[in-house]
Amino acid sequence: MIAAPPLAPSEAFELLLAGNQRFVAGTPQHPNQDAARRTETAPGQRPFAVLFGCSDSRLAAEIIFDRGLGDLFVVRTAGHVAGPEVLGSIEYGVSVLDCPLVVILGHNSCGAIAATRAALADGVSSTGYVRDLIERVTPSVLAARAAGLTQDDDIIAEHIRHTVDLLLDRSRVLADQVAAGRTAVVGLSYRLADGSARLVTTRGLPAEAVAAGRDA
């Protein structure tokens, strides 16, 4: 196992934000991507964050947050929909790997959101397991509609908030970690055009870290 002092949730969040800011500025450092890091991580892993994001090919986590091997424990599904496998993976990240941060990463122009909105508007459901995906996104889109939200960014933000709430409601392990101050959960919305990740919601971060995330 890699010997490294544990990070506080706010420190892990600052590390993640710093990497995204480098990516946006076009000055990535590509840390932990060399042969030495490969050798260092071979015996075990100690990532500083669990990243649960959309499977969209434009959201490659280690690239947009300028990280490397062993830094992020990544879980991805279309529309970041969460089933038992996702919950188990996140719980593994926080309870076994001691990750102090869980990130839910959504993005604009999300195909899962667009498909759900189209299904609700047209009354035509998709076939196969895409239908299950749409059914899992539907509560977020309906909640946004009930709140009078019509813009893509607002609907995406609502889905991110819904995912954060769902994870904490369903996972006692995660909720207990947050309550104890060992882990924080943040929801970020990624902009495809400029590469920036905007803070949408958080549970367990101190106020100064939240302010830094909103100013990033």
Q: Specify binding-site residues for Zn(2+).
A: 54, 56, 107, 110
Specify binding-site residues. Answer: 54, 56, 107, 110
In sequence order, the 6+-apart residues with CB closer than 8 A to the CB of 164 are 104, 185, 186, 187, 201, 203
d(CA 31, CA 199): 23
Asked if 53 contacts 20 with a C-beta cutoff of 8 angstroms, the reply is no
Handedness of CA 203, 174, 79, 158 (dihedral sign): negative
What's 49's DSSP letter? Answer: E
In sequence order, the 6+-apart residues with CB closer than 8 A to the CB of 152 are 108, 109, 113
Burial class (CB in 10 A: 0-12, 13-18, 19+), 186: buried
d(CA 53, CA 78): 8
Q: Is 128 helix (H, G, I), strand (E, B) or coil?
A: helix
